[in-house]
């Protein structure tokens, strides 16, 4: 099995994750990749929209097999590592990861990951791994609410970047990480993730989906990919899902 084969290409879809899910139900094999030039209803984490203009960025989704829960929670983190490596190789830019899986150039987000599980009778059957990378998008086309927090690769390099070549590199990196994980388990991956994390060691605020914000020092990653925050007086908080703001 190779992640990224076969490839289904589309000019425009609602969301590549939605198309990959349909293909999964039609019997598509593990590794199948869906790529589109534009999305009309691109989905982001925590129910947000993913801005998906035509012809400039990368929007793609891979069909993956299911593993245990620990493994599934690492899929998006592994994907963010593969994106960061592909960026490093293709552009020499120093991409880093804001927990859990936002890829940053400097303080601005350049790529995101949305992993959605497919379940039957409570049992996870598959994971649809969606990846969006802002490749050649001009910042001028962004809504003002995203202008300060979002960037694209072409804002940092002299020429425009070939999206197909970038995708080939991304699939290559994803295959390396994926095989490493299945063969050797998590310990090496955690080590590597920590080395490109922009969050660990910083003071952060975690905005939880439910409940008030939690602040503390980002201290480490748990075996299931959760973020460990050190709070005052030796208290620890384990964050499973949140929007993180780096304070310094």
Q: What residues make contact with ligand BTN under the rule CB under 6 A?
A: 15-17, 39, 42-45, 48, 50, 59-61, 102, 112-114, 130-132
* Token representation of residue 192: 């590597």
d(CA 71, CA 75): 7
Look-up: residue for tokens 């990959």? Answer: 20
Kindly tell me which of 133 and 229 has the beta carbon lying closer to ligand BTN.
Answer: 133
Q: What is the phi/psi pair of residue 16, to 5°? A: -65, -30
CA 176 to chain centre: 16
For the CB of residue 219, give the shortest distance to ligand BTN in the complex, in Å.
Answer: 23
For the CB of residue 128, give the shortest distance to ligand BTN in the complex, in Å.
Answer: 8
Kindly tell me which of 90 and 98 has the beta carbon lying closer to ligand BTN.
Answer: 98
For the CB of residue 50, give the shortest distance to ligand BTN in the complex, in Å.
Answer: 4
Residues 6+ apart with CB under 8 A from 86: 166, 169, 170, 172, 173
Kindly tell me which of 6 and 185 has the beta carbon lying closer to ligand BTN.
Answer: 6
Kindly tell me which of 42 and 123 has the beta carbon lying closer to ligand BTN.
Answer: 42
Q: What is the phi/psi pair of residue 115, to 5°? A: -100, 120
Kindly tell me which of 44 and 53 has the beta carbon lying closer to ligand BTN.
Answer: 44
Residue 120: beta bridge partners?
Answer: 123
For the CB of residue 18, give the shortest distance to ligand BTN in the complex, in Å.
Answer: 7
For the CB of residue 96, give the shortest distance to ligand BTN in the complex, in Å.
Answer: 15
Q: Are 48 and 147 a contacting pair, CB within 8 Å?
A: no
Q: Would you tell me how many other CB atoms lie within 10 Å of the CB of residue 66? A: 17
């Amino acid at each position: 099995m190779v992640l990224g084969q076969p490839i289904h290409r589309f000019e425009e879809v609602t969301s590549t994750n939605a198309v990959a899910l349909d293909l999964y139900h039609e019997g598509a094999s593990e590794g199948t990749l869906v790529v589109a030039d534009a999305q009309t209803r691109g989905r982001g984490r925590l129910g947000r929209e993913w801005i998906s203009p035509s012809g400039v960025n990368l929007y793609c989704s891979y069909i993956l097999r299911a593993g245990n829960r620990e493994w599934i929670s690492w899929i998006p983190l592994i994907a963010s590592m593969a994106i960061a490596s592909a960026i490093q190789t293709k552009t020499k830019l120093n991409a880093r990861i804001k927990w859990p899986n936002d890829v940053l150039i400097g303080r601005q987000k350049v790529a995101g990951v949305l992993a959605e599980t497919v379940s039957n009778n409570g049992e996870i059957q598959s994971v649809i791994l969606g990846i969006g990378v802002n490749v050649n998008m001009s910042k001028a086309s962004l809504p003002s609410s995203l202008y300060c927090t979002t960037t694209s690769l072409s804002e940092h390099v002299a020429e425009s970047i070939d999206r197909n070549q970038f995708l080939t590199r991304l699939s290559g990196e994803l295959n390396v990480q994926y095989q490493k994980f299945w063969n050797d388990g998590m310990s090496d991956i955690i080590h590597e993730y920590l080395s490109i994390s922009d969050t660990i060691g910083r003071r952060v605020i975690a905005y939880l989906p439910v409940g008030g914000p939690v602040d503390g020092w980002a201290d480490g990653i748990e075996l299931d990919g959760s973020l460990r925050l050190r709070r005052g007086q030796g208290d620890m908080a384990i964050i499973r899902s949140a929007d993180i703001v780096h304070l310094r």
